[in-house]
């Protein structure tokens, strides 16, 4: 399948049925591993919910919240009918005001999911274009490297910075990801507001899931 065919397939798939399946506060609540999964990871308030909504052409598929750290479960979304793949919204990380036991619980849940989920095809690590990579992002990338889970780095809120600043952040981020064993070399600069990078990211998701 060439790039144009894949892009059109991705467009049609994300324009079709997409439904919230369930939230899993622990591994025992995970849905059956019956479809390839692509997971979204990012710091609290990085724009993860907004990106999910933009990718799926919905306004409220993923709830946005001004309260950092509100989502502490794995949220699963079915894509396609019949079921073609699943998107997994992982709990936001890096919230300074969260209790330590909550942070610990997050780490165990996400780490166990990443290490043990056979149908997980790729993760997307979301980075705020205004801030670039932070130490807590590198911790999650370390976790993905150790779990041997392939991942893309995705810059969000690309419309919030000047083009020269965005280019500089992309260059620095690419240089770092090239040194990481599980990082995919293709980076994405996206904006949920303008739609920048959304079609390309949809295509990469479908390609990663091999659906």
CATH architecture of 3-209: 3-Layer(aba) Sandwich (3.40)
pLDDT by residue (tens digit) across 81-101?
A: 999 999 999 988 876 566 777
Lowest mean pLDDT: which of 91-100, 129-138, 149-158?
91-100
Task: Please calculate the CA angle 171-176-180 and round it to the nearest 5 degrees.
Answer: 140
The domain ranges of the chain are 3-209
Lowest mean pLDDT: which of 38-47, 63-72, 102-111?
63-72
User: On the CB side of 110, how many CA atoms lie within 13 Å of its CA?
Assistant: 29
pLDDT by residue (tens digit) across 45-61?
A: 899 989 999 999 888 78
> What does the alpha-carbon distance between residue 22 and residue 76 come to, in Å, rounded to a whole number?
6
> What does the alpha-carbon distance between residue 86 and residue 52 come to, in Å, rounded to a whole number?
12
pLDDT at position 126? 97
User: On the CB side of 14, how many CA atoms lie within 13 Å of its CA?
Assistant: 25
Instruction: Give this prediction's pTM.
Output: 0.92
């Amino acid at each position: 399948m060439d790039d144009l065919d894949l892009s059109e397939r991705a467009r049609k798939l994300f324009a079709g049925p997409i439904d919230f399946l369930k939230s899993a506060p622990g591994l025992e609540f995970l849905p059956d591993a019956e479809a390839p999964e692509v997971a979204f990871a990012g710091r609290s308030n990085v724009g993860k919910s907004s990106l999910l909504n933009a990718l799926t052409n919905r306004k409220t598929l993923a709830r946005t919240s001004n309260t950092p750290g509100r989502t502490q479960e794995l949220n699963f979304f079915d894509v396609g009918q019949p079921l073609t793949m699943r998107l997994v919204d992982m709990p936001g990380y890096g919230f300074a005001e969260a209790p330590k036991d909550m942070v610990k619980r997050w780490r165990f849940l996400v780490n166990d999911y990443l290490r043990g989920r056979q149908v997980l095809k790729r993760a997307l690590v979301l980075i705020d274009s205004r801030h670039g990579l932070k130490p807590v992002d590198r911790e999650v990338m370390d976790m993905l490297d150790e779990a041997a889970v392939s991942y893309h780095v995705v810059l969000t809120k690309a419309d919030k910075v000047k083009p020269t600043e965005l280019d500089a952040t992309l260059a620095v981020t690419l240089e770092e990801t090239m040194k990481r064993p599980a990082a995919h070399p293709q980076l994405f600069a996206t904006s949920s507001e303008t739609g920048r990078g959304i079609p390309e990211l949809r295509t990469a998701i479908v390609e990663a899931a091999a659906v």
